[in-house]
Homo-oligomer: A and B are copies of this chain.
């Protein structure tokens, strides 16, 4: 994507096998190359690779500099098929199926550059720091003043003086400043044209001959804009995403798996978060975030219920609905249909409020389903925690 937009990048080859990596090394014609784990998460350089079967540590660092063909072979072997845990992947890490073998360059200095939307300023924000390399989170936390920031006026776009000033803030001048100026303009265009949520170049380097090169990039997209980017379907690496989360999204649900044991089925993102919070407040641990969205039908409720029950950690379910667009009777019917179809072996607490709550409760009460009806979220949380034998 960057290369196509004319952004300075190093030559490199995507590989999925050790053989690929070796022939990439041969073809690049650079004695020193970088062998990079490709997963959709940052902090790869400081990550650790583990065997997915044994859980044993295989290698420190998901990005390695290889000084020989043998190095390339060793690093590829240690990376491919193993699990990379970084500061951003969480404990479970991610299996690495892709490598990038990249030609070396004589680096004079490493910088950090990121483009994102600043929600407070309601504008695109470009951040850059002379402290490039691996630990930008720490730079942001410890020395936020080392981060230089430029906000793009939505009306005027990124202006020349902004590019120049940011370059000068990084201490660039002459050819390097000119190279930075050109690169930043192209990167911003990439950001806007592709509806990115974040473009992070880390490191951005100045080579010894004063060229500015994007050495490594992490890009995330604004999913709301997917309707105008059919090409994203090709980029998306579904294998990496949690299967249930992908299926949920296809159904119009928001689902995030968590580590607890109480499944939640809620309408509304805020209420879904609050439900998790209150479960924890009363001593339980939520197994998931699940927002039905607005006005889900019986089928969607049904599917949501199944996704929750797929998680074998789930020992109980709390349904919490405050009907606005969502009708409580539809949820009740959806829940009943699910239970009928796949059975239910864990306790179920249901709280229905708002639009058609009386009809909903009547449907539940009229069924022979073993459930506990409650009036408020707090009651519901207390009840489900009690039922699965947690503290309360």
Contact = CB atoms under 8 A, between A and B. Distances in A.
Copies in the complex: 2
A288 B156 CA distance: 41
A155 interface: yes
Interface of A: 154-156
Closest 3 CB pairs of A and B: A155-B155, A154-B155, A155-B156
A154 B154 CA distance: 11
Contacts of A154: 155
A303 B155 CA distance: 45
Nearest to A153: B155
A154 B155 CA distance: 7
Contacts of A155: 154-156
Contacts of A156: 155
Nearest to A156: B155
A47 to B, nearest CB: 43
A154 B156 CA distance: 8
Nearest to A154: B155
A235 to B, nearest CB: 28
A156 B154 CA distance: 8
A155 B155 CA distance: 4
3 contacts: A154-B155, A155-B155, A155-B156
Nearest to A157: B155
A156 B157 CA distance: 11
A192 to B, nearest CB: 13
A59 B156 CA distance: 51
A175 B223 CA distance: 32
A227 to B, nearest CB: 15
A107 to B, nearest CB: 36
A56 to B, nearest CB: 57
A155 B156 CA distance: 6
